[in-house]
Amino acid sequence: MPEAPVPVADQAAAVATDLAAPAGIARTHAAPTRVALVRTRTGRNAVLASLAAFAGLFGLVSAGGSGDIDRAISRALQRSGRPLDPLLRVVSWPGFPPESRLIPPAIVAGLWFVGLRLEALFQLGAWSTALLSSGLKALARRPRPAQADAVEIVAAPLRGSSFPSGHVLTYVGVYGFLAHLVEAHVDHAVFRRAGVAALAGLVGLVGPSRIHQGHHWPTDVLGSYLVGLPLLAVYIEAYRWTKARLLGRRP
């Protein structure tokens, strides 16, 4: 009797299995599939853990449970950071209006002008972390530091909710993604490393700067990093996947 034909769905499943399974040299030397799949969970779990930590911090702040430690860290940082006051002022400068409304679109326009059109569109999307900050602030409604908290206010007092830090969340999105583009597209090694270092330094220092200037509590800054960095990682992966698909290559 002739054998029954194999259903098309089963054939497709077999092809997919063959495609996903290691072959050739990789079959001998690569890590087992089960181990490889476990390892790929690391990045995903790091993102989920960071977002879970943010949710816990949000609850703590909303309940008013971080006041004592916030005040202690703020006073200590302000005392120790006085020699760095000029630098920390400069670091915060791009995050204030009108600079905060002019620099991000200028970066987008620059990328488009040099021919990185997909990157310009994604850079524009990275600016949306400013909108995320506004939404989270509306939920938290946390008062900003004040003189009554024995915290020095370096510049004019700001209005609005303190949690999370809009400066930090915006910097993580805008300058964090720009650092990735510099790393990916600048061919000259010295310029590439200098650009990435400068942008990473801007993102890393803006948090201490906001505390030093008395505009935010430490937990405001921590919350922004906890929610901003994992979202940046996901956004970068979305960019890489989109670019690879448009070019007909594997991400």
62-73 per-position pLDDT tens digit:
888 888 888 888
> 118 and 238 in contact (C-beta within 8 Å)?
no
Q: In what helix (H) or strand (E) does residue 90 lie, and over which residues does it extend?
A: helix 85-92
Please tell me which residue, 237 or 81, carries the higher pLDDT value. Answer: 237
Asked whether residue 112 is domain-assigned, the answer is: yes
SS3 229: helix
Predicted pLDDT at 3: 56
pLDDT digits (tens, 9 = 90+) for 14-53: 544 454 444 555 455 455 656 555 555 667 788 889 999 9
* Average pLDDT for 154-175: 83
For 197, the domain range is 49-246
Asked whether residue 3 is domain-assigned, the answer is: no
Asked whether residue 35 is domain-assigned, the answer is: no
Asked whether residue 62 is domain-assigned, the answer is: yes
- Asked if pLDDT for residue 150 goes beyond 60, the answer is no
Asked whether residue 159 is domain-assigned, the answer is: yes
Asked whether residue 7 is domain-assigned, the answer is: no
Reported as a pLDDT band with limits 50, 70 and 90, residue 218 is very high
pLDDT digits (tens, 9 = 90+) for 113-148: 988 889 999 999 999 988 888 898 888 888 888 765
Asked whether residue 37 is domain-assigned, the answer is: no
> 171 and 221 in contact (C-beta within 8 Å)?
no
Asked whether residue 19 is domain-assigned, the answer is: no
Query: Domain count of the chain?
Result: 1
Q: Is 124 exposed, middle or buried (0-12, 13-18, 19+ CB in 10 A)?
A: middle
Taking every pair of Cα atoms in the chain, the longest distance, rounded to a whole number of angstroms, is 92
